[in-house]
Amino acid sequence: MYKNIFLCFFLILTRSLSWGLDGKEALSEEENIYQKIANVAITVKGKEYPLSAFYSKSPIIIAQVFTRCTGICMPFLLQLKTNLQFIQTGKSYKILVLSFDPRDSESDMQQLAETFSLQNDSNWIFATTDEIETLNNSTGFRALWDSSSLQYSHEALLTGINSEGIIKKKLIGMKNREAISNLISEINHGFIPSYSIPGQNSMLNCFNYDPVSGKNKPGIGFLIMAVPALATFLLVLLLGYLSKGLYHRRT
Amino acid sequence: MAELKHKRVLSLWILTVFLLFVASIIMGILMRLTQGNAMKMDVSGFFEIMTVHGATMIGIWFVAGMASVHYLLHRYVRVTTWINLFAMVFTVIGVVMLWCAAFIGKFHAGWTFLYPLPLFVAWKHWATPVFLSALGVLSVGWLVWSVGMLVAIFKKYTLQQAFGWQYFKKVHQVDTPPFILITVVTLIGIVACLLTALLLLGLFFSEIASGNKLVHDALLMKNLTYFFGHTVANEILYLCLATLYELLPEVSGRPKWKNSWYIALAWNATMIFILFAFFHHMYMDFVQPEAMQVIGQLASYFASLPAVAVTLFSVLAFVFKNSIRWTTTNLLFFLGTMGWIIGGVGAVIDSTISANVFLHNSLWVPAHFHTYLAMGSVLMSLAFFNWVVFDFYNQSEPEKISRLQIILLLIGGFGFLLMFYLGGAYSIPRRFNVYPSQLSIGSALALAAAAFAVVYLIAIILINIRIVKRCIKIFSSASS
């Protein structure tokens, strides 16, 4: 229960921080989708690599954070780590935790890794880059410096990159296991089923999803599919009836 | 006088179809040259041409089939020329609107205009409503035409007679010609799919009118789109088969085919099953219940098998060890039947769920539908055109076949189609304007296909020269 309250608190906090992005357009999960990610140089454990050196080996999920964050970054990483422990997809992928704060050093990132006991986990890479602006433009990530709180106002973003370096999916905010599982599947060229949830502005759904039972029940749209065939059937019957009259008059 | 007016309208249809056919083939060649990297075309230009090519091809061979059936119906029932003229006016208006939407308005969502693509405006804002209105105009024109012909038939034949149900009894007094039976079941399918088109367009316009506040269910829209698109494409073939049943024995100097219980049963079954076959377009739509996917596969088999079995048996029995008076007309009918069968087999394979998983949206799809259209219904319609230009003057067609024309047609047509099938075998996706380096084989195949299509175009022009000359003659002589 406390965990949920904790999560709700940070979700509200995240939302309030995004409201603080005055004059800034809110992030969109569709922005820059299917674009090739900028092949920036990143530093991992003192060595510099091009980003492509990682994604060309296996798809990667980029988590953009900063170590001095007093807001979303820590619970975001904690939840990501927890969720991934329960997701058994059998797919290959790595998590690249990348700082967007120029103040963050290599040792700051290693300390962050140790905080989460991930320093020896080969699936997790903690890195910095000198090309933050380029990377942010490429992923569509926006961070606004707030000089009063000495914090960045930003959202929690996961960017899924496939082995060709294409941004396949983005997740904004703290997502559940199913969403992260779908992200992993998508960067591995898996099929992600999706069906729009009926809204108030939609009247003619073929099926209505019942979240309680988890089942799709036929809707009015399902019946509409039969309307033209039924109309034709009635028309033919009508023409047949009229022709019968003519036939009898003739004979 | 009415007879002369009727001939004039038909000759105008033939001239229109021929002109638009040549233009559409040229568009097809340009697309294949672009895919083959032999020429450059901007992305929207490519898809504009693809949209117009698809819509025009389906439209012209539909009206060719309808005009043929309309002409032949005069042998059995009194059918007014006014509905023919009405359909022509609506068709011309519709085609002009459609071409304007694509070439001036830059609309390029494909002729299948799959929801919600037309509403994601990447072209001039007026182009989407104009494109959809064009389809509406065409649907209304053709719906009136279809219902008009049905009314004419039902004035002479009762419902039971029109469907050939009397053949299920031991004794029957009235004969229903196979031509009437096939025409009736085909027109009923056409009415159903045109009503679907109008319903679909209504839903599109309701969303546009609401300023996109009203959002329709993509699954409903896709089902309706393919109910219309798939059914109308299939009915084109059945219109051609109606003319084949009527004319093939006649032009071959053989007695007319009689109707029987198995022909009636086959075509009644086809009429029902074709209405459910479109479900095979929904295999990738996981929300569609599994039962409907299974129905889609079974209906695809049952819609094609009875008509194919009966027609193929009739045509082969007719040709085998019989002295046939071969002319260009019956040769084109025969080749068209073979093209229809080959394309039909490709379609049945594609409609099999386990195969569709691999073939879906690959070049296999255009391969099969180009086969039964370009080498099926086109040849059958050309056969009719070739016959009718002699019938205009009450003449018999000379027993002379230009081997060069037929050889060019076969090499060009099947060579062009083979490149599509090979593309499907290599998993080359359809609807790509250019192929990435990983799919370079697709570019090579496209280039070869363009060369074969040029040969096919030459053959079509050569075959049509005589037809066009005679059509112009009948049209001008009537007006003078």
| Maximum alpha-carbon separation in chain A | 102
Q: Is residue A194 part of a domain?
A: no
Residue A131: give its domain's CATH number.
3.40.30.10
- Do A175 and A93 share a structural domain? yes
Instruction: Write out the residue range of the structural domain in which residue A220 sits.
Output: 200-251
- Do A79 and A164 share a structural domain? yes
Between residues B355 and B2, the one the model is more confident about: B355
Question: What is the DSSP code (8-state) at residue B281?
Answer: G
Q: What is the pLDDT of residue A215?
A: 75
- Do A73 and A178 share a structural domain? yes
The number of residues making up chain B comes to 480
Q: What is the pLDDT of residue B211?
A: 86
Between residues B460 and B318, the one the model is more confident about: B460
* A163: Cα within 13 Å, side-chain hemisphere: 10
Cα Rg of chain B, angstroms: 22
Q: Is residue A192 part of a domain?
A: no
Q: What is the pLDDT of residue B9?
A: 93
- A201 in reach of chain B (CB within 8 A): yes
Distance CA A9, CA B230 (A): 53
Q: What is the pLDDT of residue A8?
A: 53
Is the distance from CB of B342 to CB of B418 less than 8 angstroms? Answer: no
- pLDDT, averaged in runs of 10, over chain A (251 residues): 55 44 60 92 94 95 96 94 87 94 95 94 95 94 91 94 94 90 90 67 80 79 93 92 65 55
Q: What is the 3-state secondary structure (H, E, C) of chain A?
A: CHHHHHHHHHHHHHHHHHHCCCCCCCCCCCCCCCCECCCCEEEECCEEEECHHHHCCCCEEEEEECCCCCCCHHHHHHHHHHHHHHCCCCCCCEEEEEECCCCCCHHHHHHHHHHCCCCCCCCEEEEEECCHHHHHHHHCCCEEEECCCCEEEECCEEEEECCCCEEEEEEECCCCHHHHHHHHHHHCCCCCCCCCCCCCCCCCCCEEEECCCCEEEECHHHHHCCHHHHHHHHHHHHHHHHHHHHHHHHC
Place of tokens 């593309």: B423
For chain B, percent of residues with pLDDT exceeding 70: 99
pLDDT digits (tens, 9 = 90+) for B227-269: 999 999 999 999 999 999 999 999 988 888 899 999 999 999 9
What residue spans of B210-327 are helical by DSSP H? 218-251, 261-273, 290-319
Q: What is the pLDDT of residue B480?
A: 45
Residue of B nearest to A197 (CA): B217
Question: Are B158 and A247 within 8 A, CB to CB?
Answer: yes
Distance CA B420, CA B367 (A): 5
Q: What is the pLDDT of residue B394?
A: 82
Is the distance from CB of A245 to CB of B161 less than 8 angstroms? Answer: no
- Do A51 and A117 share a structural domain? yes
Question: Are A205 and B203 within 8 A, CB to CB?
Answer: no
Distance CA B82, CA B84 (A): 5
Q: Is residue A107 part of a domain?
A: yes
Q: Is residue A59 part of a domain?
A: yes
Distance CA A101, CA A104 (A): 6
- Do A163 and A106 share a structural domain? yes
Q: Is residue A129 part of a domain?
A: yes
Distance CA A150, CA B166 (A): 90
Q: Is residue A195 part of a domain?
A: no
- Do A172 and A143 share a structural domain? yes
Cα Rg of chain A, angstroms: 26
| Maximum alpha-carbon separation in chain B | 67
Distance CA B458, CA B452 (A): 10
Residue of B nearest to A215 (CA): B287
- Do A205 and A152 share a structural domain? no
Distance CA B45, CA B43 (A): 5
Q: What residues have CB less than 8 Å from A212, skipping those under 6 apart?
A: none
- A207 in reach of chain B (CB within 8 A): yes
Minimal Cβ distance to B220: which of A193, A221, A236: A221
Q: What is the pLDDT of residue B396?
A: 79
Nearest by Cα to A227 from B326, B141, B223, B446: B223
The domain boundary, picked from A187, A216, A236, lies at A187
Distance CA A157, CA A121 (A): 21
Given a cut of 90, is residue B176 above it in pLDDT? Answer: yes
pLDDT digits (tens, 9 = 90+) for B263-320: 999 999 999 999 999 999 999 888 888 899 999 999 999 988 888 888 888 888 888 8
Is the distance from CB of A95 to CB of A61 less than 8 angstroms? Answer: yes
- Do A128 and A91 share a structural domain? yes
What domains appear along chain B, each with residue ranges and CATH number?
Answer: 2-479 (1.20.210.10)
Distance CA B312, CA B255 (A): 18
* Interface residue ranges in chain B relative to chain A, Cβ cutoff 8 Å: 147, 150-151, 154-155, 157-159, 162, 188, 191-193, 195-196, 199, 203, 210, 213-220, 223-224, 227, 275, 286-287, 289
- Do A144 and A72 share a structural domain? yes
pLDDT band at B212; cut points 50, 70, 90? confident
Q: Is residue A193 part of a domain?
A: no
Please count the structural domains in chain A: 2
Minimal Cβ distance to B215: which of A201, A225, A244: A201
The number of residues making up chain A comes to 251
The domain boundary, picked from A153, A187, A221, lies at A187
Question: What would the mean pLDDT of B197-221 be, rounded to a whole number?
Answer: 92
**A interface test, pick of B161, B184, B215, B361 with most A CB neighbours within 10 Å:** B215
- A199 in reach of chain B (CB within 8 A): yes
Nearest by Cα to A123 from A101, A91, A100, A155: A91
Q: What is the pLDDT of residue A138?
A: 95
- Two tokens at B237? 């073939």
- Do A109 and A135 share a structural domain? yes
Q: Is the ipTM of this complex over 0.90?
A: no
Given a cut of 90, is residue B324 above it in pLDDT? Answer: no
- Do A114 and A10 share a structural domain? yes
Distance CA A222, CA A207 (A): 7
Q: Is residue A22 part of a domain?
A: yes
Q: What is the pLDDT of residue A196?
A: 65
- Do A176 and A135 share a structural domain? yes
